[in-house]
Structures are given as C-alpha cells and as structure tokens.
C-alpha cells in the first residue's frame, strides 16, 4: 500500500516571539481568541513574519488543508489503497490522519479544527481519534517507526522519474512511503538523504505538494485497477 508524509509542514501556533505583535493581537481579537491559541498564517501575519527566522516560508496552513483534501478525497483512498496519511511539522509535531476522515472544505473551519487539536484535544480520550497528535517526533524517528519497505522523497533535486514506470516497478512491495515537503519554497531542513531510500522528481518544474500527491495517487489507482 501507499502512504504519505507531508514533512516539515509550516503548521504551528503563534510562536512566543510574536505573541505581542500588533498583527497577531489584532487577528486573535477578531476571532475572540488568545494569540497563543491561533495558527500562524501568512495571510494575516505577513508583517509579523518578517521579524522571525524562515519567515518567508512559515505560516502556511493552507498547504496542509489542500493536501489533505486531495489525498482524502482521492479515488485511491476511497478504494482503501492508502495506508497512512501523516502531517509532520517544522516543530516536530505529528498529526496522524485516519483515512476515513472527512476534512471540511472551509479553510476557516479547518484552521479552527487544527487549533483545537493543538490546544485542547491532543490528550487521548479513549475514543477512536480521526486526527491524533503526537509531540516531539522527528522525521527520522517517524520513518523508523513506520518500518516501510521503501521510502521515497519527492524533491526537485531528485532523480527524474516517470511516475507510471516508477510505481509499476514497486507494485510487488507491501508498503511504500512518499515524503512530500509541506513548505512553499526552499528545501528540507532535515538531511533527507539519510532517511529516504531515494530522492525522486516527477516533473521538470516546481510543483505544489497536492499536485505531487495527486499525480502519484492517480497513477497508483490505475496500476491497482
């Protein structure tokens, strides 16, 4: 089966350094929340992001939202061909997403869901959780724990492959994990070559995370037909 890790996603609550920034205080007030309870979002906090490290790539919950919509609503997922869907963040928070989850199409409702997950509901309640949060899990340890047969990282610097031929070559393997970057620009901060079996590129130009996932899922569904 196929699994996805959206790695180093720019999904985080407001960092301590920005809690008192006017842009943050203003957006939190509009929503009736404390600054520490809302997600960092470049749509509203772009002025604040200029003052922190990696500000040009942080605050992108939208990438996670669209990625999850594409993967969860795919035909491959409806057919039960996806094993794991995992969101790993820059702060080593890891969200395990049940494949039966129906993510809301409204971005604002999605943001509220993730904020609740980060601030309230990350403690087990005895029930099956469609979204489960674990703290302090590095990408390296996450990969080791999953024990997949093959791990491939999708990156523009990887070996150029034809998606159909590539997936066809691994059709007999039980578990394949694809790592896709959850950030808008730049490259992985993690030494990705140490934790992946190979680095691949599926196109000559940069692609969004959800486009990469969509291409892989469409072809995989075709091969498993």
Residues 6+ apart with CB under 8 A from 129: 98, 121
**Angstrom distance (rounded) from CA 185 to CA 22:** 26
Residues 6+ apart with CB under 8 A from 174: 1, 149
**Given this model, what pLDDT does residue 120 score?**
83
| DSSP secondary structure of 78-97 | HTT-EEEEEEEETTS-EEEE
Q: Is residue 66 located within the same domain as residue 103?
A: yes
Q: Which tens digit of pLDDT belongs to each residue from 10-20?
A: 999 999 999 99
Q: Is residue 144 located within the same domain as residue 179?
A: yes
33 within some domain: yes
**Given this model, what pLDDT does residue 79 score?**
97
Q: In the chain, which residues have pLDDT < 70?
A: 121-128, 171-173
Q: Is residue 139 located within the same domain as residue 219?
A: yes
What range defines the domain where residue 119 resides?
2-11+59-223
Q: Is residue 44 located within the same domain as residue 129?
A: no
Q: Is residue 118 located within the same domain as residue 27?
A: no
């Amino acid at each position: 089966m196929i699994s996805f890790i959206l790695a180093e996603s720019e999904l985080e609550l407001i960092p301590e350094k920005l809690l008192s920034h006017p842009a943050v205080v203003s957006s939190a007030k509009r929503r009736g929340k404390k600054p520490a309870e809302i997600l960092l979002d470049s749509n509203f906090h772009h002025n604040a992001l200029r003052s922190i490290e990696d500000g040009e790539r942080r605050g992108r919950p939208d990438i996670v939202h669209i990625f999850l919509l594409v993967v969860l609503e795919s035909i491959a997922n409806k057919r039960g061909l996806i094993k794991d869907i995992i969101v790993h963040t820059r702060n080593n928070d890891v969200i395990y997403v049940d494949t039966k989850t129906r993510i809301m199409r409204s971005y604002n409702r999605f943001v509220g869901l993730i904020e609740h997950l980060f601030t309230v509901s990350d403690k087990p309640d005895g029930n099956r959780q469609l979204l489960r949060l674990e703290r302090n899990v590095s990408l390296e340890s996450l990969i080791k724990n999953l024990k997949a047969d093959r791990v491939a990282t999708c990156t523009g610097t990887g070996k150029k492959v034809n998606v159909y031929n590539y997936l066809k070559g691994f059709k007999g393997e039980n578990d394949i994990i694809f790592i896709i970057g959850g950030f808008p620009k730049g490259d992985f901060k993690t030494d990705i070559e140490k934790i992946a079996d190979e680095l691949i590129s599926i196109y000559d130009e940069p692609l969004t995370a959800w486009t990469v996932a969509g291409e892989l899922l469409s072809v995989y569904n075709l091969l498993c037909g």
